[in-house]
Amino acid sequence: MPELAEVEFFRKQWNSGLRQRILTVHLHAGKRIFRGLPVMSMRRGIAGKTLLSSHAHGKQMLFRIGPSGWLGIHLGMTGKLSTQPAAYPPGPHDHLILRTRRHSLVFHDPRLFGRVRFDHHSKPPDWWSQLPPPILSRNFHLQKFKGIFQRHPRAPLKALLLRQECFPGLGNWMADEILWQSHLHPKTSGRILRPAQLEKLYASIRKVCREALQTIGRDWSDPPKGWLFRHRWKPGGQCPRCAIGLARASVGGRTTCWCPACQPPLPRRANSA
């Protein structure tokens, strides 16, 4: 599933349509990505309007269309945005196409786990405004971060990092990368972490997000060579730090990769019971 950096990359694929008038809207109205949405009303709210801005927040995207139209897109597992020529012929999995004079802005989703929303208001829709603070924003500060662990003291770190209401945009590979860079076992619960470990984890979260945006989010290039990212799914993959064979298991319902030597289970603290 696309994560924070991949979502940012795909958001920018529609930037070629900014300040362009949307002439027509092509969509597959019966598909479940439009669930609960009056698609004819959406079509009328978009056609003839100008694409004014694009935004990403975690795994969500929002496009402002005209003075009061807001198109929301969640990519799901296999969704992608792309810009194609104006005369681009729709494929069977191209479920939404906004056509301008110069381009076709395409939402492609073979497995249909994505979602399209449309709201008609002068301000951004409530579902967008109520999202938690972006991880790299000022509002995602250390005290707020510590509060998450106070509310979920028993949750395994891997499972907690995947909670979008706490860490918007983090997904499977980013969570594994953060824990590896923090030297923390994915099954460790937050209640046994010491203050210095929490601060290191906070710093790693922001570092991984920032550098992923600078690489994947910019032009789909790979993150730095020393990251776990480049080794986690290789057959017989080894830790890039210590060359020990990587371990894999399901944690928090997701296949998880870690280094047994660099990320050993932490001893339980006496006051954490």
Fold adopted by 142-272? Helicase, Ruva Protein; domain 3 (1.10.8)
Question: Both tokens of residue 77?
Answer: 């597992």
CB within 8 A of 108, min separation 6: which ones?
A: 79, 80, 81, 82, 91, 93, 94, 95
Fold adopted by 4-129? N-terminal domain of MutM-like DNA repair proteins (3.20.190)
Per the CB < 8 A criterion, the answer to whether 170 and 265 are in contact is no
Q: What are phi and psi of 143, to 5 degrees?
A: -65, -40
User: How far is 254 from 50, CA to CA, in rounded Å?
Assistant: 40
User: How far is 79 from 94, CA to CA, in rounded Å?
Assistant: 10
Residue the block writes with tokens 């480049």: 230
The residues spanned by each domain of the chain are 4-129, 142-272
Residue the block writes with tokens 């470990």: 197
Which residue type is seen at 94?
Answer: D
pLDDT attached to residue 269: 61
Per the CB < 8 A criterion, the answer to whether 64 and 52 are in contact is yes
Residue the block writes with tokens 């499972």: 159
Tell whether pTM > 0.85: yes
Return per-residue pLDDT of the chain as tens, 273 residues.
Answer: 899 999 999 999 999 999 999 999 999 999 999 999 999 999 999 999 999 999 999 999 999 999 999 999 999 999 999 999 999 999 999 999 999 999 999 999 999 999 999 999 999 999 999 999 999 999 999 999 999 999 999 999 999 999 999 999 999 999 999 999 999 999 999 999 999 999 999 999 999 999 999 999 999 999 998 999 999 988 889 999 999 999 999 998 999 999 999 999 988 764 454
